[in-house]
Amino acid sequence: MNAFRGAGIQAAKTIAEKNVDLLLTGRCGPNAFTTLEAAGIKVGIEQSGTIREAIERVRTNEVKFADKPNAEAHW
Amino acid sequence: MIVAVASGKGGTGKTTVATSLGAVLGTRSQILDCDVEEPNCHILLKPTILTSDTVSLPVPSVDLKKCSLCGKCGEVCQFSAIVQIGKTVIAFPELCHGCGSCSMLCPDKAIEEVPRNLGVIETGMAANLEFVQGRIRIGEAMAPPLIRAVKNRIKSNKFVILDAPPGASCPVITTVKGADFVIMVTEPTPFGLNDLEIAVEAIEGLGIPIGVVIKQI
């Protein structure tokens, strides 16, 4: 991703084009969140550790979903 | 003749040098404060402000009823200020640089350009010196378009002094571009030298001759 600003929007657009249903991330900023929401992609937040651990949390319904951004712009 | 007064480090005396030059040249000159985020020439010059005009940038507003979701707007935008996603198009006006490509290329004529307020330009007289300054709207992040609007007020028959913002980023480059000479003001400290070197490197790329004034207290 090569962006001075708008990196979150580009990233969100990219994964939307791959028909992604669920994004697992630590933090999601306001513009990325707006874009993901428009694409109908669920945003699982406060994720850390390994990818295996994160996916396990999805399986066991332990993922917290964002209803608003949980990071400021330019965090 | 257009002379820009710049510096890497802030607080080295740019405005003191710029306003002093203006005071010496008097009627022959025009001073433009291009440090739109914190203009301060007015503090020393105490001008009488005669005009005040709002400056805005055209940003997209999408009418989804007309939109066929072709996505051309998002493809052309270099700043992700408009993006077609799913069954909608989202505009981020605060990221828009106002190039107008999205509305021009929209085959559905679904994009209207609406103004985003950037700030104001004030003009006036400080004794016999012509005075112009830009003041950015609080909350606005993009200074260069307002700086360009300030520079549109340059009177080519005058000796023009541009007071630049500190630093070496876009607002500085926007200010000094097109100048015939740049005066870099610095102070004899490690901080002054460090920031001077960075700013000189940036401005040298524009091919403008540079002179240095070292402030001594």
Mind listing the pLDDT tens digit for each residue in B149-191?
Answer: 999 999 999 999 999 999 999 999 999 999 999 999 999 999 9
Q: What secondary structure does DSSP assign to B65-133, as a single string? A: TT-----HHHHH-TT-SEEEETTEEEE-GGG-----HHHHH-TT--EEEEEEEEEEEEEEEETTEEEEE
Mean pLDDT of B50-75: 95
Res A1 pLDDT > 60: no
Q: Domain range holding A20? A: 7-65
Using 50, 70 and 90 to split pLDDT, how confident is the model at A75?
low
Of all residues in chain A, the percent with pLDDT exceeding 90 is 53
Residue B74 has pLDDT above 70, yes or no: yes
Q: How many CB pairs under 8 A join A and B?
A: 38
What's the pLDDT at B39? 96
Considering the domain boundaries, does residue A13 fall inside one? yes
Asked whether residue A73 carries a pLDDT value surpassing 90, the answer given is no
Segment B66-77 mean pLDDT: 94
Let me know if residue A73 belongs to a domain.
no
What Rg do the C-alpha atoms of chain A give, in angstroms? 12
Q: Is B80 on the interface with A (CB under 8 A)?
A: yes
How much is the average pLDDT of A30-43? 92
Domain B2-55+118-214 -> CATH class = alpha beta
Where do the CATH 3.40.50.300 domains begin and end in chain B? Answer: 2-55+118-214
Number of domains in chain A: 1
Q: What residues does CATH 3.30.70.20 cover in chain B?
A: 57-116
Distance from CA of B90 to the nearest CA of A (A): 7
pLDDT of residue B103: 95
CB spacing of A16 vs B81 below 8 angstroms: no
Tell whether domain B57-116 is in CATH 3.10.180.10. no
User: Searching chain B, which residue's CA lies closest to the CA of residue A20?
Assistant: B86
- The CATH number of residue A61's host domain is 3.30.420.130
